[in-house]
Structure 1
Amino acid sequence: MSKKNVNQKLLFYIKYRMTDKIITDKIITEVTLECLMNKENYEKYRLKTREKRGTINKKDKKFYRKRIYDVTKKLLNPELYPNDKMNVTTDMQYKFETYISSCIEYFKMVDTSDILQEDYKDFLEIDVKNEIKIDENTTLENADQLMMRSIKIQEPNSLEKFVKRKIMKPLRKEIPPQQKDINLKDPILKNKGIRKKKNIMNTYDKSSDEKK
């Protein structure tokens, strides 16, 4: 290896370690502020920093778009690029893994919801209108009779005064709710929601056509 290549690698390593140290210092600062600051002031600080971080320049996004795609592919499938290993900071690696984890959790939530909704797709929706029918011929006396229930008290027999009767209702057998088995590893869910590109034929489509 030439002296020039060694110097370039050494320079890259120094820059990488310095950037990594700056990011580590930021994490330490965040933890310190969270533990020592007042809750209200810390929430205000978080909102301000979140607003600053959340705004992404559209021109920068367009300018770095191809490089973002390239880095994402290499971080997602590093085994496909053995000769082009990505040297990213620990903060970037952590955020990428957090993003992937969030995507997986979101896909699982959507698939679970869709599978459960399949059981209710044949149910008819009943349009219930909460309308109260008012009879114009109803008088105040009739309204009072409807509101007030008349109770007639009958004197019990002498024997019934000492005997207490209890009517036992038959116990209804309760059916416990059953948990539905949801297969989130179904091959159908692998490419769910992905549009096929035109003029590009997948290997799966080729094999299915050959079987036909």
Structure 2
Amino acid sequence: MALFRGVWSVLSALGKSGADLCAGCGSRLRSPFSFAYVPRYFSSTANSYPKKPLTSYVRFSKEQLPIFKAQNPDAKNSELIRKIAQLWRELPDSEKKIYEDAYRADWQAYKEEINRIQEQLTPSQIVSLEKEILQKRLKRKALIKKRVKLKTINENWKNLSSSQKQVYIQLANDDKIRYYNEMKSWEEQMKEVGRNDLLRRTVKHQGKDDTDEC
């Protein structure tokens, strides 16, 4: 708490409140699953879109995270976030209100701008936008599913004994040798038919060096 009060006193001395500093901070929280939020990367609609405002807590976190990182360079982000969350819980309501008021003001402006943009969309643009939203949603779900699967595989690998891991390591080494032999045979065939353009760069350089030595 003392840390925050110290930082806050410096900002007050500079004549800038937390709301002033946060008014333009942060990046958009991209959540393309709500039609009310029109992301910037949907190129089939208007040219520019407003940023979705950050919540009061996220504003506070983004403001405090660089400070905590500078003071705890070896700490993990998860640890810093927990400390910031605790600091936010201890923050007086009067100081929280600065961030909350800034969020409400930005949210109202955001909704008005979104309504203005939606009124300008044609039916075909709305259909195109809905398709893009669906594609983004499916792509995101597939990515999350893939990450979960990779995490599970990684955990299973860690739980294997050394003898169990050795079986897979040996199989991988056997595959590496097989690949090397098959690739070498294929490259020799490509040389014979004059298709050096298909060879790997290392093989090309090796052939050139052999010619220079001759």
**TM-score, shorter chain, exceeding 0.5:** no
TM-score bracket relative to the smaller structure: under 0.3
Name the one with the larger helix percent. Answer: 2
Structure 2 length as normaliser, TM-score? 0.24
The structure number with the bigger radius of gyration is 1
